[in-house]
Amino acid sequence: MNIRYGIDEFLSRFEKNYVTYNRIEVSKSALTYNLNYFIGRLNKPVIPVLKANAYGHGIGLVARALSGSGCPYLAVDGYFEALRIRRVCKTPVLIMGAIAPENYANMHLDNYAFVVDEAETIDALGHTGRPVKLHLEINSGMNRRGVKQDQAGELTRRILSYKNLELEGVMSHLADSDGDNPNTVNRAVSIFDSCVEEIKAAGANPSIIHLAQTAGSLKAKSKYANAVRIGIGLYGLNPFSSTHKLHKDLQSLKPALKLISTVSKVIDLNTGDRVSYNYTFTADKPLRIGILPLGYYEGVNRSLSNKGQVKIGDKFMPIVGKICMNHTIIALGDSNTKVGDEAVVISDNPRDLNSLDSISSTFNLFNYNLLTALSQDVRRLLVE
């Protein structure tokens, strides 16, 4: 027997009966609501983006939740993300990130599409002799990946020279979709549309043309784009700042994630007792504190030390002392909190002090990063 497989199988079975103090709950109904919001508003097919462990929500969990949703693709960055999706659902996967060309000869290519932007990758896929769908990426001003307009026709003809390759799609990525200057998006759209025309003139007829992400979907007016990629909006977060004029358009999105921990120990402090590394908190009166068995490794940003809040019942409890690698300490005040009580560390209620929106705005943190920093070791559960 494959020993590694045996260990994984054992851990999978053991986990079902193992009581954990920390968990992430992901709401299927919130994901479905958010997806349908964009489909209805935009009247275009939506490609959900599940890269970076589905923005911290759990790639397998989210893929299962979206299975059967009718989306043309689920999008990821890398091949191993695609394999994790394939374990749980049959929806086609669009792989957007760079892959070393020598890998393609040994990869499964069925039911995947690959984003390409240079000749070496096109040749490597062409030489496999197997049917492969490609999406050609355009550099519309991001200057990160993609081909420029003077290369679009040449690479299109290169793709068409291989009988096994199909140029199914064209894509780009907007660099300033959440900004305040509409001209930056308009310029990018103009570049993109011109490149699509070059691609069509070279003899291709791509059927899936996608330029915009969540924020850009409300702003980009392309003549050719007929699909959108939705990332952060799928998970219920608003990419626009609260002062942006488009913020209100996405206020109805529902956050899908809640991070929950458990009070594992309660300690009574005397006046003058100090807490955690470097003693940055000192009790100015007798005080009960609770220990939560999660810290910055699990994804609690250290900027919340002595400043953040968690919610137990209907009360907010302040974080005291420095957040540790695997522990966070909270002041219990006059509450009757006891060992075993659950604490909401990240709330799915946007109005709460510890929602992702509140945390990111209060502490000037990037909400995308707060999500993707959540450790894959924290158990994730799909809830309704």
Secondary structure of residue 138 in the 3-state scheme = strand
How many C-beta atoms surround the C-beta of residue 162 within 10 A? 17
Residue ranges with strand state E in the chain: 23-27, 46-48, 74-76, 93-95, 112-116, 132-137, 165-171, 208-210, 228-230, 257-262, 265-269, 274-275, 281-282, 287-292, 309-312, 315-318, 328-331, 342-346, 379-383
| Residue pointed to by tokens 């957040």 | 323
Residue ranges with strand state E in 92-202: 93-95, 112-116, 132-137, 165-171
Note the pLDDT of residue 8: 58
Tell me how far apart the alpha carbons of residues 289 and 64 are, in angstroms, rounded to a whole number: 39
Looking at domain 257-347, its CATH superfamily turns out to be: Lyase, Ornithine Decarboxylase; Chain A, domain 1 (2.40.37.10)
CB 172 within 8 Å of CB 144: no
* Structure token pair of residue 323: 């957040």
Query: Any idea where the domains of the chain sit in the sequence?
Result: 28-250, 257-347
CB 197 within 8 Å of CB 316: no
Note the pLDDT of residue 17: 81
Residue 79, CA distances (Å) to 85, 105, 112, 133, 351 in order: 10, 13, 9, 15, 37
Q: 342-355 burial string, b = 16+ CB within 10 Å, else e?
A: bbbbbbbebebebb
Query: pLDDT by residue (tens digit) across 352-377?
Result: 999 999 999 999 999 999 999 999 99
Tell me how far apart the alpha carbons of residues 25 and 382 are, in angstroms, rounded to a whole number: 6
Secondary structure of residue 79 in the 3-state scheme = helix
Residue ranges of the chain with pLDDT lower than 70? 1-12
* Structure token pair of residue 262: 């458990």
* Structure token pair of residue 208: 């899936």
Tell me how far apart the alpha carbons of residues 211 and 225 are, in angstroms, rounded to a whole number: 6
Note the pLDDT of residue 6: 56
CB 351 within 8 Å of CB 338: no
Beta-ladder partners of 268? 288
CB 276 within 8 Å of CB 321: yes
Note the pLDDT of residue 16: 72
* Structure token pair of residue 257: 């994630």
Note the pLDDT of residue 1: 38
CB 156 within 8 Å of CB 150: no
Give the H or E element holding residue 123: helix 119-127
* CATH architecture observed for domain 28-250: Alpha-Beta Barrel (3.20)
Helices (H) and strands (E) in the chain, counts: 10, 19
Tell me how far apart the alpha carbons of residues 381 and 384 are, in angstroms, rounded to a whole number: 10
* Structure token pair of residue 252: 């109805």
| Residue pointed to by tokens 């609260």 | 242
Order across the sheet with 287-292: list the strands. Answer: 265-269, 287-292, 328-331
Note the pLDDT of residue 143: 96
